[in-house]
Structure 1
Amino acid sequence: MRRYSNRRPIAQSVFVAFLSTAASPALCAAPAEAMAEPGEADILVTARRREESVQKVPLAIAVLGGKMLDRTGTFSVARLTQLQPSLTLYSTNPRNTTLNIRGLGSPFGLTNDGIEQGVGIYVDEVYNSRVASSTFDFVDIERVEVLRGPQGTLYGKNTTAGAIGITTRAPSFTPEARAEFTAGNLQFLQAKASFSAPLVEDRLALRLSGAVTTRRGTIYNVTSRQHVNSLDNKAVRAQLLLRATDRLDLTFSGDYNDQAPNCCAQIYVRTGATQRPLNRQFAALAAAFGYAPPSTNAFDRLTDLDSELRAEQQIGGVSLRARWEIGPGTLTSVTAWRFWNWDPSNDRDFTGLPITTLSQNPSRQRQWTQELRYAGTAGRIDFVAGLFAFRQTLKTSGVQEQGSAASRWLLNPASASAQDPAVLDGLRSENAIGLKNSSLAAFGQIGWRVTDQLRLQPGFRVNYDRKSGSYVATVTTGSGSTVLTSEQRGVLAPQSYDPRFSAWNVSGDFTLSYDIAPDVLGYATYGRGFKSGGINLSGLPLDGNNQPILASATVKPEKVDHFEIGLKSQWLGRRLSFNLSAFWTDVRDYQATVTNGQLGVLRGYLANAGKVRTRGLEADLSARPTDRLSLYASGAFTDAKYVRFVDAPCPPELSGGSSGPVPSAPGTPGVSPASCDISGQRLPGVSRWSASFGGEYALPATIAGREGQAYLGVDGSYRSTFSSNPSRSRYTDIAGYALLNLRAGFRFGTGWDLFGWVRNALDKDYYEVLATQSGNTGLIVGQPADPRTYGLTIKGAF
């Protein structure tokens, strides 16, 4: 019988069972977490805060073990998407990162600090309140868990789309050490090391770990003569485990991550026709300056951005986790403080012209969390109940400044001001942004084993949220004056407002599960969830007098109705596992990012779409035909769309024209609609079809008299076409693509492993994200994904 003694949620997906193996040397790649060895007893986990058979967990969850993460080069959340079809992550820099499960989580586009994320990220049970603060390299990871669907009745922070739980290796009372070194093309270097040992026998143990990752950028900037979009990450972690008594454990943790890449460039991809006058679209504007990008093929990986690129951040914190076995259960307390410092610099005109010469929003975030939870079993009743408190503060001091080309690029060429560079040159907006965010919650679940086959599980949550913010934009001309013309205000408008939001909400879920056969579980779940309302902290849209529309300062909470049915099964002596889930989720008052159509506004703001729906099927299969071969496949069909969004922002081909009663044809200069009805359109960032698949074949062998295994591993993934714009446009669809990763090596019986690897082995050209240039010029920019990379890794455990 295999057991996981860690009492935080861990869950299973059949396909990931293969990934997280800790099997015998002859079965190094076997599915270990969801399939026992033939004839072996069930694997026990604590997915619902209590110990139970992994196949009795009525949830759609995947677990990726540390060994598989290392072997596949999955050293960050971003790379998890190639192993998890229902998980998507899109990023133009760490702060502007979107993480979704089944199409839901956070709005696609530039980040707005005033809303919650729908996918919770937990590291050793500590909630991370921003996706950006979890963009660190994985260090000494035991496993990663991806839970799909609402998770508000078991987790401290409410999450309506799912959760990602990252568990690091715990301090050990048996001395151990691990080391890993990787070298690859593009000057890729990565080193990882960890050490654990007792300080006081059976009472006090220490674990230290660290990692360094560097890589040359994948895009060459002909202006700065540097490669950009590089990697430069450093991370350290320390843990101290005190076994205070036989029933009380205390774990003190601290971590620090520093990242300083030359990043992040979005480069020329194509141009599209908008409804702006032709002399104000990209081709004519560029010709007026005698400008051309260094290449019109993005996969030449060339750019000429003339503003400094910087994406520096420091992430870290400390925590104290206490577990006390008392009565029929375990009392757990998790106390944590975390910080995130963000120091960026961007080129937001995406060209080598001095249009926008400064665009940066340095931020300082601090958060405090306290969770208190009691879980146990009494007779036929399993239970968990908890309290959670959260406090976040954030301060941002943004700057945007226009350059000497801004007047001609942004203003109407018929205006005399467009011919005078001094009108906009040096026009500067300094933004002071503040956020205070507090949340209190009580949550819990009760599991009633009605019979040996039938189980009922109701869950509840009561939540209170309060947000207060401040946004002050002070605009000055190049001469330092605060007296602005109407044209200057149309590009950068001064604003000042103090949004507020507070509300109570009650949510819950109910799950019924039934053992159809000894190794076949069926389940059905209904959940009602809420995502807290938000406040706009990126500036508000302006009215006809260039004044902020204060009614847009807040957005209503999302209301979620979630339905799911699933089947978990094992066959052929547990050599074959198959899991299937079907889901339907309706979201009312969906929090969407919309784009202000004004010329100089670079950031979107939040608004409520009427209704969104996502539904689909997910299937996970793993098999072990022989003791040497393990296979897995996982697929997802996701139909995610706006059911009702009648006043959405328009796509580029319906933007940029004058106002009027009769809009012109798409892509034809003239009149643009004030808004567009995109009801029925797909949600951005979601592929209808996605899959991952692979396997490993291991063969006993001897090298230089040393016994071990020679092995070959293959991992593939596929995503179909998806939209990269909040309102779908023919210019911003990203074509579907398939990726193939390979690895081959030798595992020595002494704990050493040497292998070569190739990622994107077929050197597929594809984009991670596409975006439009503000002002509706028709310029489409994007981030080409990594080309083929390859290298060699050596690792050992002592």
Structure 2
Amino acid sequence: MRISLALLAAVPGLVNLASAAEAEGGFQLEEVVVTATKHAEPLLNVPIAVTAITAQDILSKGITQYADILSSVPGVYYEDAGPGDTTIRIRGISPGGGGTPPTVATYFGEIPMSAQGGGNLGQHATPRFVDIDRVEVLRGPQGTVFGANALAGAVRVIPAAPDLKDYQFNVGTRGFATAHSDDMSYHVEGMVNLPLVEDQFALRLVGYKDDIAGYIDNKTPAQAPSDYSFYVGALTGGAVNVPPGTLMTPATGALNKKDINSTDTTGGRLSAAWQVNDRLRLDLMVATQDAEMDGESSVTPGSYEIVRSSDYFANGYTSEDLDLGGLTIRYDWDNVSLISATSQTKLTMARLNDAAELLPPAAWLFQEKREAEAFTQEIRLQSRGEGAFRWTVGAFYLDQETDGRQHIRDLGCEQTPTCLPLLFTNGAQNYPLDLTFHLFEKQKAVFVDTSYEFAPRWTLGLGARYLEEDIGVKLGSTGILAPPPGASNGGEDSASKFNPAASVTFKPTDDLTLYVQAAEGFRSGVANQALPQSCRDQAAQMGLTLQAVTEPDTIRNYELGFKSRLGDGRVNLNVAAYRLEWKDIPGSVLFDCAFSNLVNAGDATGEGVEFELVGRLSESWKVNLAASYNDLTYDDNVLPAIGAPGDRVVGSPAKNYSAGLEYGFDLSERWAGWARADWAYVGSLRSELSSLPIESYDTVNVRFGLVQESVSIELFGRNITDEQGITRIEPLPFGGDYVLIRPREVGIEVRYRYK
């Protein structure tokens, strides 16, 4: 907490500097308006811990995607293993075992993007930040307004809307070099805004493409054929033995592949706005993005290299294909608005990686694919204006299906006459496992959110959401690792949940908001496969109750905070302190029969504090500071499957800090310049997948730019100290390799804007 206290101690000095700037005629900070409550209102008035990243922040900091910003937001940790393999954590709330839904809801405009759990792929789509108006990070459960899977919070990426008045044309490109890489990276983007009927109808088209260099080398020595016949006896307890030389892995040549984790991304977006009349407006958006990493993102500890012999036969990859469509219809009366938001989402994630660690002598590849499609419809009626009573009532419907497949391919079956799968299946198949799954979820919900100024400067907020859902899974599997005969092919169940929220806000002045809040969040349960009888017997001996669908886990959040504008509007200071109670945490239990089930494995409680400051010290100088600390630990009822009583919940750091400083200056009547430096610190944690310790790290980014009315030229450096920060450690059965942040990058960016 020393750095946090040091930051707080610096606040009075910053306020004094800002007040001095007022005396010298300095500028105020621009007021930030957010829609975190689905009402547009100043950030200062919202009784929720919210970080707003504006379009100007995105440009000045060079933000291109989640990985560039989230881990510097107080209380947030972002794990990035490439497209199709990402996770967001807020306030220490980790998703849990494989197949669990996300704990953070993500949105692109009005469109939900969080993928349904299933398999071991990532949980969040990763759109590039091109032509984005702002990003809102809501911390703490948002179950009332955003529903299930906003257990820990929500992240909303809000694209720029079509402009009904002005023609606009923006293009930009950047190129950069990456340490430990032989390749260059580039990005190009463009936007055109077309007001085809002034003040009535406009189109906005966005397109982008980038080729990001890899920095990991596959250095695998040549390997002779390997005899793994003796493993059969070990696998079967001596029941089956085969002569030496029966089961052989093929020989492989030496590999020296450079930069195997390069990533290609292509995306586009079409938005249309039709202001039919003064009361009726329609907004349509269609977006797509395809991203693929050529190899895997993990490395051998302490290096930028990996040993992966399977690349001799097939290159590994991870990919993510995202398609979004949304239609928002708004009709305004004098005091009330009716809003309909309809969306259709398709998210496909896939990967191919080395699975030889499961049976080291064998040559196995693991292939996984998940395709989720979701339809949502939300209708809400809400008040307009600034009256004492503000309200929103609405209904929400979700219909989501996910089809997936996990396949283990034995390369030995393709290269030699006999192999382990063929031995056990008499030639019926040549793979250890082929698992298919179909997940389905239907949800109906109604919600209300209100605020009432019951006395001068005092406001009471009340909200609630009630939902019912049906969720299930159907499984099919074959192969020597498949469930034995008699195991069921899935399960399904129904659940209902009531999520309340309440807040009291006091504004002693127009520039200070004090609030106390209590809210509850909810996450859908997970459908399990049914287990063989031996697994069920062991579960009974352990005192576990196996369920077709786990109970939903919930979080209660009690929060006290203040938001303020100091120094005559030149400093914004926000602080929040909270207590969390997390119930029925899902965890994966592995049984002796080699199969696992998700169970509700216990509870956790904890406290935390978050601090944010943005200041304009003078006409030329801007500063931002942020810090957070959370202490979320398992309660006494936790199962060994996920932790021990008193241990910190795995997957997120207890601390993160960030700071930034920007200086602007004029070079001539036409040209201005600016220089910026940003520092971020991510504290130590234990990896969720392996429970091994991950050391803290910090990064430093710098940016220098020249800009005139339509052209800007910027030089930048990211992670300039070339910190080898670890974000994840793979499970030991898959090698225990590290996933790292990107190394040092240095480049140039050029933009042209016409308006």
> What's the TM-score bracket when you normalise by the shorter of the two chains?
0.7 to 0.9
> Do residues 717 (structure 1) and 725 (structure 2) align?
no
Q: Offset at 1:634?
A: 0.5
Q: Secondary structure at the match of 2:736?
A: strand
Counterpart of 1:669? none
Say whether the 8 Å CA contact 2:298–2:306 is kept in structure 1: no
Q: 1:635 aligns with which of 613, 627, 636?
A: 627
The equivalent of 2:383 in structure 1 is: 376
Aligned to 2:404: 396
Q: Measured at CA, do residues 156 and 365 of structure 1 come closer, stay the same or move farther in structure 2, by a change above 3 Å?
A: same
8 Å contact kept, 1:105–1:160: no
Q: Equivalences for 1:579-658 in 2 at 5 Å?
A: 579-594=574-589, 605-649=597-641
How much does 1:440 deviate? 0.7
Distance 1:615 1:592 in 2: 22
**Residue of structure 2 in register with 1:172 after alignment:** 163
Distance (Å, rounded) in 1 between the aligned partners of 2:712 and 2:531: 55
Give 1:203's aligned amino acid. Answer: Q
Deviation at 1:352, TM superposition (A): 12
Give the TM-score normalised by the residue count of structure 1.
Answer: 0.78
Give the gaps of 5 or more residues in structure 1.
1-14, 16-26, 31-35, 270-296, 406-416, 477-487, 651-676
Rounded to whole Å, the distance in 1 between the matches of 2:168 and 2:210 is 23
CA gap 1:519/1:753 in 2 versus in 1, 3 angstroms: same
8 Å contact 2:553–2:586 — kept in the other structure?
yes
SS in 2 for 1:70: helix
Residue in structure 1 matched with residue 563 of structure 2 by the alignment: 568
Residue type at the aligned position of 2:335:
P
- CA contact under 8 A between 2:603 and 2:638: conserved in structure 1? no
SS at match of 1:260: strand
Give the conservation status (yes or no) of the 8 Å contact 1:219–1:303.
no
Instruction: Name whichever of 224-233 and 751-760 sits farther off.
Output: 224-233
**Aligned partner of residue 652 in structure 2, secondary structure:** coil
How many aligned residue pairs are there? 673
Equivalent positions of 1:325-724 (< 5 A) are: 325-349=332-356, 355=362, 357-377=364-384, 379-402=387-410, 404=412, 426-475=430-479, 495-536=487-528, 543=534, 551-594=546-589, 605-649=597-641, 678-702=644-668, 707-724=670-687
Q: 1:350 to 1:37 in 2, by over 3 A?
A: farther
- 1:182 equivalenced with 2:174 (yes/no): yes
- 2:259 match: secondary structure: strand
Q: Which runs of 5+ in 2 are unaligned?
A: 1-6, 8-17, 116-121, 178-182, 220-254
Q: Is residue 737 from structure 1 mapped to residue 722 from structure 2 by the alignment?
A: no
Q: Which among 97, 103, 109 is matched to residue 92 of structure 2?
A: 103
| Contact 2:209-2:266 at 8 Å conserved across structures | yes
Q: Give the distance between the partners of 1:529 and 1:710, measured in 2 at CA.
A: 45
> Does the CA contact (< 8 Å) of 1:698 and 1:709 recur in 2?
yes
Give 3-state SS (helix, strand or coil) of 1:69's partner.
helix
Work out whether residues 85 and 691 of structure 1, in 8 Å CA contact, stay in contact via their aligned partners in 2.
Answer: yes
Deviation at 1:260? 2.4
Whether the 8 Å CA contact 2:86–2:124 is kept in 1: the answer is no
Matched, 1:220 2:252: no
| Superimposed CA distance per residue, residues 520-579 of structure 1 (whole angstroms, 9 cap, x where no aligned partner) | 211000113322222136x86883699999925421111222100001112211112211
Distance 2:753 2:468 in 1: 47
**2:646 match: secondary structure:** coil
Decide whether the 8 Å contact of 1:219 with 1:228 is kept in 2. Answer: yes
1:755 aligns with 2:714: yes
Partner in structure 2 of residue 794 of structure 1 = 750
Q: Does the 8 A contact of 1:350 with 1:781 survive in 2?
A: no
Give the Cα separation in 2 of the matches to 1:784 and 1:165: 25
Equivalence map 1:179-258=2 (5 Å): 179-185=171-177, 186-222=183-219, 223=255, 225-258=257-290
Aligned to 2:105: 120
What pairs with 1:84-163 in structure 2 (closer than 5 Å)?
A: 84-104=73-93, 106-107=95-96, 111-112=98-99, 115-130=100-115, 132=123, 134-155=125-146, 157=148, 159-163=150-154
1:782 matched to which residue of 2? 738
Distance, in Å, in 1 between the alignment partners of 2:342 and 2:704 is 43
- Work out the CA distance in 1 between the residues paired with 2:485 and 2:537: 7
Deviation per CA, 1:414-458, whole angstroms, max 9, x where unpaired? xxx999996699442111200111111111111110122100001
Q: 1:22 maps to which residue?
A: none
Conservation of the 8 A alpha-carbon contact between 2:690 and 2:730: no
Inter-CA distance 540–565: structure 2 relative to 1 (3 Å threshold): farther
> Contact 2:218/2:305 (CA < 8 Å) preserved in 1?
no
Q: Aligned partners of 2:57, 2:184: CA distance in 1, in Å?
A: 24
**Which of 48, 58, 63 does residue 37 from structure 2 map onto?**
48
Q: State TM-score, norm by structure 2.
A: 0.82
Task: Name the counterpart of 2:296.
Answer: 264
The answer on whether the counterparts of 1:179 and 1:795 sit within 8 Å (CA) in structure 2 is yes
Identity %: 22
Aligned to 1:33: none
CA distance in structure 1 between the aligned counterparts of 2:95 and 2:421, rounded to whole angstroms: 41
Tell me the alpha carbon deviations over residues 56-75 of structure 1, each in whole angstroms, 9 at most, x when there is no partner.
Answer: 21111011122322333322
CA distance in 2, matches of 1:618, 1:91: 23
In the alignment, is residue 78 of structure 1 matched against residue 44 of structure 2? Answer: no
Q: Post-superposition shift, 1:700?
A: 0.9
Contact 2:216 2:259 in 1 (8 A): yes
Contact 1:472/1:494 (8 A) holds in 2: no
Amino acid at match of 2:196: L
Q: Secondary structure at the match of 1:68?
A: helix
Q: Using the alignment, how far apart are the partners of 2:613 and 2:421 within structure 1?
A: 65
Partner SS, residue 246 of structure 1: coil
Describe the superposition over 1:81-121 as per-residue Cα deviations: whole angstroms up to 9, x where unpaired: 243132212244544432211112522x6x41xx4322111
Distance 2:270 2:477 in 1: 41
Distance change >3 Å, CA 134–CA 241, structure 1 → 2: same
Contact 2:216–2:299 (CA<8 Å) still a contact in 1? Answer: no
Shift of 1:685: 1.8
Q: What's the offset of the Cα at 1:44?
A: 5.3
Contact kept, 8 Å, 2:104 with 2:155, in 1: the verdict is: yes
The change in CA–CA distance for 1:727 and 1:774 in structure 2 (over 3 A counts) is closer
Query: 1:633 deviation in Å?
Result: 0.4
Displacement of 1:334 in angstroms is 0.6
Partner Cα distance (2:531, 2:74) in 1? 35
Partner of 1:59: 48
Residue aligned with 2:374, SS: strand
Q: Which range is displaced more, 84-93 or 781-790?
A: 84-93
1:712 CA drift (Å): 1.0
In structure 2, what is the Cα distance between the partners aligned to 1:84 and 1:344?
Answer: 29
Q: Secondary structure at the match of 2:569?
A: coil
Quote the offset at 1:304 in angstroms.
4.6
Question: Are the equivalent residues in 2 in contact too, given 1:148–1:163 (CA < 8 A)?
Answer: yes
Cα distance, 1:695–1:467 mapped onto 2, change above 3 Å: same
In structure 1, how many angstroms separate the alpha carbons of the residues matched to 2:159 and 2:713?
Answer: 23
Structure 2 vs 1, CA of residues 595 and 199 (structure 1 numbering), >3 Å: closer, same or farther? farther
Give the drift of 1:460. Answer: 0.8
Distance in 2 (alpha carbons) for counterparts of 1:225 and 1:460 = 55
Q: Which residue of 1 aligns with 2:303?
A: 298
Q: Structure 1 pair 420/511, CA: closer, same or farther in 2 (3 Å)? A: closer
**Alpha-carbon RMSD:** 3.2
**CA displacement 1:473-525 (0-9 Å, x = unmatched):** 1115xxxxxxxxxxx779x9995422112111111111000013332211000
**Distance change in 2, residues 1:341/1:299 (3 Å):** closer
